[in-house]
Amino acid sequence: MDSTVCLPAEARLAEPDGMYLRRAIALADRARARGNRPFGALIVDAGGQVIAEACNANGESGDCTAHAELSAIRLASPLHDRQALAGATLYSSAEPCVMCAGAIFWSAIGRVVYGIDAVRLRAFRGERLDQKDAELSCRDVFDTASHAIECIGPALIAEASASHQGAWKS
């Protein structure tokens, strides 16, 4: 079932979207400064309140699932029911991976805004097997959802890309 609402990359962001996406990018920079891969995410409820934010913590924790999006969902979901999360937006510094897209689906979050897309990110990651991802767009996951998930991105590409300059081992 195609339930994803896809907006083109050149779609203009509303001012709040740009502000929250820049906050996710700042979280990515914080993750990198702490020795993790540079990813950040936050969840904003329908009223504009930040209900969770997280940095990638793979390096610090040794947990391969400690992605920023998944960690933010883990913080938000015990405190907010699926109906509330359906009205929320997840902002991510980069396109959510397959695992994180699945978590977004299961949480019922209804909207995603992301920075750098997976294709551009792969150029930074290089050819090392331990840095490769499942080459599947988050939109492919969202397209299988039984509920609509609005997906906006890539956006603020240059700003989101800056976090990855020199961050990946070749």
Q: What is the pLDDT of residues 82-108, one digit of tens each?
A: 999 999 999 999 999 999 999 999 999
Active site residues: 69
- pTM for this prediction: 0.91
3-state secondary structure of 84: helix
Segment 39-61 mean pLDDT = 97
Q: Output the pLDDT for position 130.
A: 67
The answer to whether the CB of 53 falls within 8 A of the CB of 122 is no
Contact at 8 Å (CB) between 23 and 167? no
Contacts of 91 (CB under 8 A, 6+ apart): 17, 20, 21, 23, 24, 41, 42, 43, 44, 112, 113, 114
Residue 156 to residue 165: CA distance in whole angstroms: 15
**Residue 152 pLDDT more than 60?**
yes
